[in-house]
Structures are given as structure tokens and as C-alpha cells.
Structure 1
Amino acid sequence: EFGYEAIPVVGLAKENEWLYRPGRAEPLIIPAGSNALRLLQRVRDEAHRFAVSFHRKRRAAGLKSVLEEIAGIGPVRRRALLKTYSSLGALREAKLEELCRIPGMNRRAAEAVYNYFQKQELQGEEIG
């Protein structure tokens, strides 16, 4: 449909470093230490690094957008919250006292964050 049929596809199993091709049960074994294997390993590792990096940025962007809804939470406090809490779930579970200890957060800002998530929980809303 998209014309991708002509593009060769392989999978490189990490444990044994065997090369698998669609429609074939037997792996292609490339000699350990060969330039070809090193190239394939680098391509695989870069693809993995890119995917993980993309996922982390996407997750952080979602959390950032939620924080933009909270009055009194500007860019500096958002960065501090994102640095401290890597996920929306972790931030949702944060205690008020923990939020107050974050550098740059005062009691009023911490209460705004805490109350925002408590209100969402009481309303049964899923955020993020």
C-alpha cells in the first residue's frame, strides 16, 4: 500500500546478536567482531536511543501542558517540578509538604499544585 515492500527489514536479537529476517525461522549469524555486526549494533542502539528519547520528551511535554493549567506555576516552577517528578502519577501522589520543599516553590504555589490534583481526583478525571 505504501510501497515499503521493497525495503529490506531485519531484526537483530540483542542476546545472541543474531539477524532475523521476515518469513525465515533460522537466524543469519554474522561473525562476532566483524565490521558488519558492529554497524548493525550501532544502528540498533541508535534506533533504541532515539525511541527512548522521543518517548521521554513526549511524556515531559504532556506533564508540562498539565502544569500550564495551574495558576501561579510559571516556567521556573514548572522546570523545578519536572526535575523532581518524572511522571504525572508521581506528581499526583506528592504530599503538600514535599511540594513545599522543592526549590522555588512557596506554600501558595505548592497548595495550587496539590489542590489541582486533589480536585481532579475528586471529580474522577483522568489527566495527562
Structure 2
Amino acid sequence: MQKYLLSIYQPDGGPPPPEILDPIVRDLDALNDEMRAAGAWVFAAGLHPPGTATVLRPKGADVLMTDGPYTEGKEHLGGFTVIQAPDLDAALAWGRRLAGVTTLPVEVRPIQ
């Protein structure tokens, strides 16, 4: 089976208040359990805020190190799930469910 990366993009800024976030987390846990039961779930993780990132950029024989995200934007990669699916349509179906649960954009991409 092909593996796919489901990348979750979230807006910059702090997390939503508990009355919004708690149901999302509950529904996300249920979806992850459903993916596990279906044999699709491989791995998932949330990421710390983009300000905690360190970017390493090759420059000639050196590598420059800078704090913060690689690019500035209004949204950032907030977390991801790796799944296995028989084809892109099945991966997109899981991605669609993930976007619905998180209420955030999800990018579905095959892993080489």
C-alpha cells in the first residue's frame, strides 16, 4: 500500500479557546481510532508553534542557521498524519474527513 502525508495547516496565532478546541480534539481522537481500526493510520504528530523552528540553509561550504519558520505567512504546518491507502482516492477520503474534523486545510501528498 502507498503511504500518504496528510499535512494540516493552521492559521498563525494562538490556539482557539477550549470551547472550540475541545470538541475538535475529541473528534480528531475518534478519527485517529477509526483510521487505526481500518489499518490506515501509521503515525501522527502535532507540532510546536513555528517560532520554535530552526532553519538550516546551505550557503557554499557553510550552513546558515536562523530561528523561526522558513517562510512568513498567514498559516503554518501545525501537524501531520501519515496513512497508508490503496490509492489516491482512498487517501483523499481520509484527508477530507481530517479536514472536516479539524476545520483546517489538509494537503494530501504521496510519500516516495
TM (normalized to structure 2)?
0.30
Return the TM-score normalized by structure 1: 0.27
Higher relative contact order (CA 8 A, sep 6+): 2
Which structure: larger Rg?
1
The structure with the largest helix share of the pair is: 1
Hey, which of these two has a bigger chunk of strand by percent?
A: 2
